[in-house]
Structures are given as C-alpha cells and as structure tokens.
Structure 1
C-alpha cells in the first residue's frame, strides 16, 4: 500500500503541469518528495520480501536495469519532443499527457502487485509499526557495525550520483572547445549514462548465479576500478573551470567529445556495480529489518546527493545546462527557464534550447534544501574528482569489510550448527 500511495504522488506532480501555477508546482514538489521517500523504502522492502539469499542478486540487477530504462527512454522522448527553442502549448500538453498516462499505468500495476510469497507458498506476514517505532528502528539500526560501515558506501553513492546527474553534464556543456556544439553532448551524455546503468543491471542480474559464489565485493571492486579510471580520464579531458562557467581553457589533453561520452557510459556502469550490490547486501544482511535499512540507505544517499547538487546550482554553467533545476531539486517534465514567469492563461512557455539529462519525467528525488546555505562557493572539477576518489576508496573498503564480517558470522553459525 505504501508504494501505491507513493506512486500516486508522482502522478499528482506530473498532472500539475496541465494547469501550471507557481504555488501548485511547489506544493506538488513537496508532496512528491514525501511520496518518493515512501516508494523508495517500500520497493526495497518488497524486493527483499520476494527474494531469498539465492535470488536477491538477480532480482536487484533486473530491478536496477528496469529502473534505469527511464533515463534512456525519458531522455530520448523529451529530446525528440523539445526540439524547438519555443515549446508550444500542444507540445507541452502532449508531453504531460504521455507522462501522466505512463505514471497512471504504473499506479495500476502497483495496485495489482501480489503479496510477498515465501518459497513454500505461504504469504509473508507484514510487520505493522507506527512512524515513531519505524524511526527508532532506523536509528538503532545505524548503531550496528555492518550498517555503520555501509553508511560510508551510501555516502559515496550519493556523491557520485550528484556528480554524474548534476555536475558532469554541465562540465561537458561548458567546455566550449570539446565540439562544435557542446550543449548537444549533454543529452547524449545522459543517454549513455542510462545505457551503462542498464548494461550493468542486466549483466549482474543474468550472471548472478555465477557471480554469487564469489560474493558481492568483487563486483563492487569492479565498479571502483571503473570509476577511478573514469575519473582519471575526466581529469585529463575536461578543464578545471568547467563546473564553474563556460570556458575555452585547455585541459591536460585536447578535450574530446567521444572520450567524454565514453566516460558517461562508464559512470553509469560503475554506479550500477555499487547500487545492485548494495540492494543485494541490504536484502541479505538486514532481511528482517529491510524497511528501516532501505530508509537509512536512501536518506544517506539523497542527503549528499542534494548537498552537492545545490552546490552545483550556485554556478551559472549548471543553471544554463539544466534550466529546469531549482533548489527544490525537482526534475520537471517541462523544464522552466524562469518558473511560470511567461505564462498567461494557456500561452506557450518560452524556453531556452534544452538538452535533457538524467531521469526526465521519471525519478524525482526531493529533499529540503536547509543545508544548502553551508556552501557559498563552487568547487573546481579537480577538487571534486579528488573528493570522489577519496570517498570511493573509503566506500569500497567499508563495503568489503562488511562482506568479510558477514561471511565470518555465517561460517561461525554454520560451524555451530555442525557441532550440534
């Protein structure tokens, strides 16, 4: 039921664009943020209830691949629809109708989801706990050694998510000597990130039966290696000032659009390595407490995603590359150059040429921007890459340590069972 409620808040947000009004947009954004927290926690719990130790990796991979299809198809659809400098009323209406219809179908599918069934064919009983009890469980869960270590990994995934969804595309678009039309590469970058995410999800989902015997940490190590190599290529290919403004500064090598797009694919593939294994780890280690565990995961990830995204929004190049973004962190199906300032009745909304990036019309992660004031200056690309590399090392080490602790506990319990 929680996923159904969360999905209807998505529908409410998209439907608010049938009659665009400033107050309605922000109200729907707040409701959407609340709904997103519900649906993300609920789907993780539902995934865990419908999986066991032998199927959780496969199910996590397939889930991740299907989820990331929104990046591919959403970017492509909006890229085809928003191909004019002025978005006519009929175009805006078409996009809103299509997105609302798709979201409505998704809500219906949510209603048709069966209860979780165990391997023996028995309906898995649901735990009913109030919000206060759920909060207490989440806080107590963070005191466990495994969750405390995994929080560092969650922290890294939030940072790298913000980098490839809110920073990297603007860096490409701001590097004026990377191609004749660098802004076009931003949309292509989003599509390639989605392809990388889908490829990783399908690969680890289909090969889960073969990779299970090696554990989850080799896949995370693969994602770590891919990301470190990608950060090094970005360091060579893009100038340090690219996150701050449009620039003609030279990078360490001559900026190359093909290399930038290849890095987009690798960023998505590496992200899928981390996230599919995090889902599998939570579903296995915290199978009896999956709801608060997934709540902690999304809270940690989104907090740092939000912080870094707000930081990137303080500079001009990000705002020009992503005109639909505001400090409410909403991904709008009709991006706004200046929110509703040109609306008069049903008149068209003039927009700057827009190239979509990341989850257009799909996933909306909204969280209060209270912490944004901590940042007053944007960071250069090289410092951001250094932070990503440092946190990638920490996140990978803590994930591997968690896996080692879990294996040690499992082997100890097996030994105790055999002795009895």
Structure 2
C-alpha cells in the first residue's frame, strides 16, 4: 500500500474507532440528565449537568499535561487507555452511586484530554497540507455516525415512555459499555505511517515515531525531559497571536457542544406539551444532530480541494446555521425547559410547540457544529504542523473550560440567556477565525512565491 493510502486508512480507522466509542459516550451524555431525574434512590444525589461541568473543568486543566503523556507513551496507547476510562464512566450508570459518579467524572476529564490530544496528533502526522482539510472532514463525518446509531437505539427503546425504569436504564448502559470497549480496541489497527522520503532534518525524521511509541526519542532525551518540553511548548503556543485569536472560536465550540450534546435533548424531554413522545424525542433529536454532522463533515471533506476561498465561507455558514437554529429554539421551547423537574414543564414559548421545528433545529445544530469543528481542526493542523500535540491540547483546553462553564450555568440559567451567550460568543468567534484564516492564506501565498 502506498504511503498516502496507508495514511488515509489510518484516518478512516481513527474515525471508526471514535464512531464506535462515541456511539456509547455521546448517547450517555445525551440521556444522563433525563436518566438521573428518573432514578429512584435516596442514596444518589448527582446531577448530569454538574458531572459534565466537572468533566470539562478537569479536561481543560489536564490538556496542559496531555502532550507530556503522549510524548511518553505515544498516541496509540493514549487512545486505548483513555477509551477504557470512558467505558468505566458509562458503566457507573448501571447502578450509580454519588461517589462513583463524581469520581469517574474527574477521571474522565483527564482521559478525555489525553484522548483528544492524541487524536489531533494522529490526524496531523497522517496528513499533508494538501490533505489536512479532507482528512478532518472524513474523520468528523465518520465520528458523527455515533450520534445516529446510539440515538436511534434510544428512540426505539424509549418511544412512548414517560418514565425510565431501572431495567430500562441498566439494559441501555450495559449495552453502551460493551460498545465503548469495542471502540477502544479498534485503535490498535492504526499503523505507523511511512516516513517522508529523504527528510531534510532531524525533526522530520521524528514524525513517524509519534504514531506508536517514543522509544527512540526517549533514548536521547529521557522521559522527564521530553514530557517537560511538551508542556513548555503548550504554554508557548497558547500565547501566540494566532492561538489568542482562535481562542474565541475554540470557546464557542465548547459552548455549543454543551448545548447540543446535553442541554437541548434535556429540553425536549422536559416539554410536556410534546406528550408521550417527549422522552423518545431525545433519541430522535440526537439522530438528526448526527445527520447534520455527517452531512457537513462529508461535504466539507470532499469539497476541500475544490474550495478556492479557504475555510471562511464554511465557518460563516456555520454561524448563520446556528443563529437560525437558536432563534427557532427560542420561539419553540419553553424558557424553563433546561431546569424543569422530572415531570417536565407546562410552559409555552412564543409559538405552539412543534416537534417538526424542534427536529429541524437538531439538524441545524449538527450541521453548524460540523462547519466549525472541521475548520478548526483543519486550521490548527495547518498552522501548527510541527507542534500538533501541544496545539491541539491548547484547542481542547479552551474548548473544554468553556464547556465546563456552560454545563455549570445550565443548572441555573433559563433557555433564552443560554442562547444569548452563544450568539455573542459565536459572532466574535467567527470574526476572529476570519482574521486567522487571512493570516494563514497570506503566509501560504508568500511561501509559494518564495519557492518559485
């Protein structure tokens, strides 16, 4: 197999591994607040929103050490061990206790930082400047199939239910735990990419060793030195002009991640005016979010080579798509839906609640999210090719800390205020992304002219 073919196969396997694992975890996150509300136990006092806030807060802090972990054990083992912690968190819901629920929330935050930094590292070292956009789209589309499969199961299993029994919960979470474990083992199918022909310097020759282990580097540097260098590089990158500008779209991606992955499904399940279909709508909404993600990732990946205008039009499309969705949600969903009790809310927004409008918004949330994330992954991989692990760690640091803040305030803020926050941050995030893209395109043109 040619080096390019092997690299593409690695991207596909990476996407499939994330698809299988996040079929389990994405579904877990989408339903956990609803499940917790239905759990009858005087010994359990957890909150799904609080758990997610803890996860993303620890995730954010752990991104500072994630490059060091990957430098020591390599991205493959980082993916595998990170995946095992995801499985353990899901398994907690088979019979939840408050102490285990929050303990594994902390552990998952650490694992998530390592997992996603390793993902960005693997994506970058299996891509060239000419293929980073395509590969980002392929990975994102494959991963987002997870939303389709997991939520289809939830829709079929919970359709017509107004209360989730212990048996319903246990059946779902045993299944999700097994699925998550399968995804973790898929990562071992990723192969070491072939080295670039005739590397011009030592830094190029080190790239292939990133895929499996760091033994050759460790021999010359030592574990502690290599880990410290990776940590220092993360700090240095965080204060560059490009990263400071990108921090606003990074932050927006964290806010809207919180909304579509945890808050919106909870809102639909709390709408009493949707009748007996309300709980089943959580799964159906997740499916349509996934359809939007898959469509966006696939189209933007395929069209990447044909795009003469760079990444800005895709990000602008994402902003418009999300703003339309937010406005329709504001009109359709009751303001107290995010914080309503288990029996739901009887309030009505500014129009007669419509299931069709609610599901259209789900699709738009997924499509807009794919616009932002495929382009953020692409531009980070393009700008920081030589330091991909630290760069993606900074990306996830900012994204996760804002997600933690958003999950925290979701316990208290009414829907309209959550939507307003996303509109403001989304607008400025789009503007600053445009600036960084113009800088990147200018740099590429100057480089091309210099090589002629």
TM-score of the pair, normalised by structure 2: 0.71
SS in structure 2 of the partner of residue 252 of structure 1: coil
> Which runs of structure 2 are paired with 1:124-143 in the superposition (5 Å)?
124-126=208-210, 130-143=226-239
Is 1:172 aligned to 2:248, yes or no? no
> Which runs of structure 2 are paired with 1:80-95 in the superposition (5 Å)?
80-81=156-157, 85=163, 87=165, 95=172
- Counterpart of 2:328? 233
Please tell me whether the aligned partners of residues 179 and 256 of structure 1 are also in contact (alpha carbons under 8 angstroms).
no
Higher helix share goes to which structure? 2
In 2, distance between residues paired with 1:88 and 1:381? Answer: 29
> Which runs of structure 2 are paired with 1:6-405 in the superposition (5 Å)?
6-14=82-90, 23-81=99-157, 85=163, 87=165, 95=172, 98-118=175-195, 120=197, 124-126=208-210, 130-178=226-274, 181-211=277-307, 213-245=308-340, 246-312=344-410, 314=411, 378-405=412-439
Please tell me the root mean square deviation across aligned C-alpha atoms, in Å: 2.7
In 2, distance between residues paired with 1:413 and 1:58? Answer: 21
Q: CA deviation at 1:400?
A: 0.7
- Counterpart of 1:354? none
Please tell me whether the aligned partners of residues 314 and 372 of structure 2 are also in contact (alpha carbons under 8 angstroms).
yes
Q: CA deviation at 1:107?
A: 2.8
Q: CA deviation at 1:405?
A: 0.8
Please tell me whether the aligned partners of residues 155 and 281 of structure 2 are also in contact (alpha carbons under 8 angstroms).
no
- Counterpart of 1:360? none
Q: CA deviation at 1:307?
A: 1.4
In 1, distance between residues paired with 2:259 and 2:90? Answer: 26
Farther off after superposition, 383-392 or 153-162: 383-392
Please tell me whether the aligned partners of residues 158 and 280 of structure 2 are also in contact (alpha carbons under 8 angstroms).
no
In 1, distance between residues paired with 2:336 and 2:420? Answer: 15
Distance 1:20 1:252, change over 3 A: closer
Q: CA deviation at 1:125?
A: 4.0
Gaps of 5+ in 2: 1-76, 199-204, 218-224
Distance 1:99 1:117, change over 3 A: farther
TM-score of the pair, normalised by structure 1: 0.76
Please tell me whether the aligned partners of residues 50 and 117 of structure 1 are also in contact (alpha carbons under 8 angstroms).
no
SS in structure 2 of the partner of residue 167 of structure 1: helix
Gaps of 5+ in 1: 315-377
In 1, distance between residues paired with 2:176 and 2:301? Answer: 28
SS in structure 1 of the partner of residue 191 of structure 2: coil
SS in structure 2 of the partner of residue 124 of structure 1: helix
Q: CA deviation at 1:188?
A: 1.7
Is 1:407 aligned to 2:430, yes or no? no
Deviations 1:157-206 (A, max 9, x none): 11111122222223333343355643332332122112211111112122
Distance 1:167 1:94, change over 3 A: closer
